[in-house]
Chains A and B, each alone.
Chain A
Amino acid sequence: MNKQEYLALLRFYSQQLAPEVQSDLISEVEAHFIYGEQQGKTEEQIAEELGDPIEMAKETVGPTYKAPDLSAFQEMNRTDDEPRHYSYSYSNNYSSYSAEEYPPQNLGQPKAKKSLLALLSAFTLIVVGGGLLVSIGIDRFIDGPNEKVVASSTVESILEDVDKQFEKLEDLEDIVEASTTFAWDEENYDFEGSNYEGVIHMGNSPAWKDLIIDTDLGQVDIQFKQGDRNEIAWKAFTAPSVGELMEATQLKNEQIIFELDESGMYDNYRYSFVVTLQDDFELRKLQLEQELGDINLKGGKFEKIELQMDNGILRASDIVSGSMNVELDNGSTEFERIASPIKLESDNGEIKILESTHPVNIKLDLGSVDLGMKQPHDVDVKSDMGAIQIEVPQGAKGKYEAKSGLGDVKVPVSDDNGTFRVSAKTDAGTIIIKE
Chain B
Amino acid sequence: MKEIVQFKKGVLGLCAMLLIQERDRYGFELAQTISKHVEVAEGAIYPVLRRLVADGHCSTYLQESTEGPPRKYYRLTPEGKFYMEQLVREWGVFASNINRLIESYETEVE
A residues with CB within 8 A of B: 21, 24-25, 28-32, 34-36, 38, 49-53, 55-56, 59-60
Contacts and interface: CB of A to CB of B under 8 A. Distances in A.
Nearest to B72: A28
Say what secondary structure dominates the interface of chain A: helix
Interface in B6-20: 9
Contacts, number: 60
B28 interface: yes
A21 B69 contact: no
A28 B27 contact: yes
Contacts of A29: 43, 46
Contacts of A59: 9, 44, 47-48
B15 to A, nearest CB: 15
A21 to B, nearest CB: 7
B41 A49 contact: yes
Contacts of B40: 51
B35 A31 contact: no
A50 B67 contact: no
Given A25-B50, A56-B47, A59-B47, A31 B69 contact: yes
Given A38-B67, A60-B50, 18 more contacts: A21-B50, A25-B47, A28-B46, A28-B49, A28-B72, A30-B69, A31-B69, A31-B71, A32-B31, A32-B42, A32-B46, A36-B28, A50-B42, A51-B41, A51-B44, A52-B41, A53-B43, A59-B48
B33 to A, nearest CB: 13
A53 B44 CA distance: 9
Nearest to A6: B43
Nearest to A32: B28
Interface residues of B, number: 20
Contacts of A32: 27-28, 31, 42-43, 46
A38 B71 CA distance: 14
27 contacts: A24-B50, A25-B47, A28-B46, A28-B72, A31-B28, A31-B68, A31-B69, A31-B71, A32-B46, A35-B28, A35-B68, A36-B28, A50-B41, A50-B43, A51-B40, A51-B42, A51-B43, A51-B44, A52-B43, A55-B41, A56-B43, A56-B46, A59-B9, A59-B44, A59-B48, A60-B47, A60-B50
A25 B40 CA distance: 18
A204 B28 CA distance: 53
B63 to A, nearest CB: 12
Contacts of A28: 27, 46, 49, 72
Contacts of B44: 51, 55-56, 59
